[in-house]
Amino acid sequence: MQEVKKQLEVLLVNFFRDCYPGFPKGKVVASESPDFVVKMKNAHKLGIELTRLNPANAVTKTEEVQALINFRNELVADMRELFEAGSETKLFVKFMFSEKHKITPERELIVRSKTVATIKSAIADISDGAFYHKIITNSELPAGLEHVMIAYHPELKESVWERSNNLGVSNNVVDDIHLAIAKKDEKLRIYQKQNLQQYWLLITTDCLRADKNINLLNKISIEEFESRFHQVFVLDLMRAKVISLVEN
């Protein structure tokens, strides 16, 4: 599991580089404390530490909601099995389900087959030696699915297919971001032993979404976040969007 975790981190840091125009040019090397070091041509080195946004304030699940989650998890597992029956390509795939148009068991077979066919079509031109990502929107998907995020990196040796926000949906995303920053700030002294020129923190999340009907992105944009890292970012995977939180 630890090996797969590092492979996913390699994929995620490449995802970040693809989505963030300000990512410095240089060689990205996997490391420990911090997770990656970017070696630039001017001999400067940048450390990047990754963490996943954890919904500490997660919404409580009812029995009905939990049954729906179980059904969706089984559907994702079945789609992975169907895909891998005809392809050896290892992918990181996230599925965002619709809350307005729920998939019924009667439609499970057609949703599974159509979605897998769409994923296969999306990766038809994939290059074996390069990072690739694509967001499939609901216009290309059967009813019941909002988005499917596909990412590929040659270092990923085991597929990871998951339901989006599988850790839960937060009641207070802003507080969870503050908590994620604070936890990593406590460990910055360890990272600084490498004597790098800069240290960045990258917080990844499947999708910034809240249980309440609020403009979450706007709320985050006006919030003041503090950190001892030189820069702090959130990478929203389902939107392929980078949000800058701190710049020191």
Give which of 20, 27, 45, 5 is closest to 233, Cα–Cα.
20
| Residue 210 identity (one-letter amino acid) | A
Under 8 Å between Cβ of 155 and 196: no
- Digit-by-digit pLDDT tens for the chain (248 residues) are 568 999 999 999 999 999 999 999 999 999 989 999 999 988 899 999 999 999 876 667 789 989 999 999 999 999 999 999 999 999 999 999 998 999 999 999 999 999 999 999 999 988 878 999 999 999 999 999 999 999 999 999 999 999 998 888 788 899 999 999 999 999 999 999 989 999 999 999 998 876 555 578 888 988 999 999 999 999 999 999 999 999 99
Q: Structure pTM?
A: 0.93
Describe the strand order of the beta sheet including 45-52 as a list of residue ranges: 27-30, 36-39, 45-52, 198-205, 231-236, 241-247
